[in-house]
Amino acid sequence: MKKFYSTVVMALVLGTSHAALAERKTIEYEDYGPTEEGATKTVKKWLEDSCKDRKGKVVAGSFQVKNIAIDPNPDLSDLKKKYKVKAEMKCDVSDK
């Protein structure tokens, strides 16, 4: 019976540890830019700022570009919005 109680106590300790309470959210955003690199930088900056606004910390290496679209008719559109980039990033918003 002593082993059972030890197991229960250990499970409670591990279950309430900081790592177990960590919550990661995936944030998505899309934006336009004159170049692929410019649009990607804009999206990455917005995602980082959004994570900080949520009092979170960006998970290293979690930035991923999901989609890059090129305007099929750039002569008729605004050249500042030629590339559309959609990306996501993970944000650790655990309580500290």
DSSP conformation class of 54: T
Cα(37)–Cα(40) distance, integer angstroms: 5
The predicted structure's pLDDT at residue 40:
94
**Number of folded domains that form the chain:** 1
Q: Is residue 7 part of a domain?
A: no
∠ CA 78-33-52, rounded to 5°: 140
The predicted structure's pLDDT at residue 53:
93
**Domain span at 31:** 23-92
Residue type, 79: L
Per-residue pLDDT tens listing for the chain (96 residues): 666 656 655 665 555 555 555 688 999 999 988 889 999 999 999 999 999 999 999 999 999 999 999 877 766 656 667 889 999 999 998 865
Q: How would you label 20-30 residue by residue, b for 16+ Cβ within 10 Å and e otherwise?
A: eeeeeeebebb
The predicted structure's pLDDT at residue 23:
85
Q: Is residue 6 part of a domain?
A: no
The single residue listed with the structure tokens 């993970």 is 90
The predicted structure's pLDDT at residue 8:
57
Q: Is residue 28 part of a domain?
A: yes
CATH value at residue 56: 3.30.1660
DSSP conformation class of 63: -
The predicted structure's pLDDT at residue 4:
60
The predicted structure's pLDDT at residue 89:
96
Q: Is residue 45 part of a domain?
A: yes
The predicted structure's pLDDT at residue 71:
78
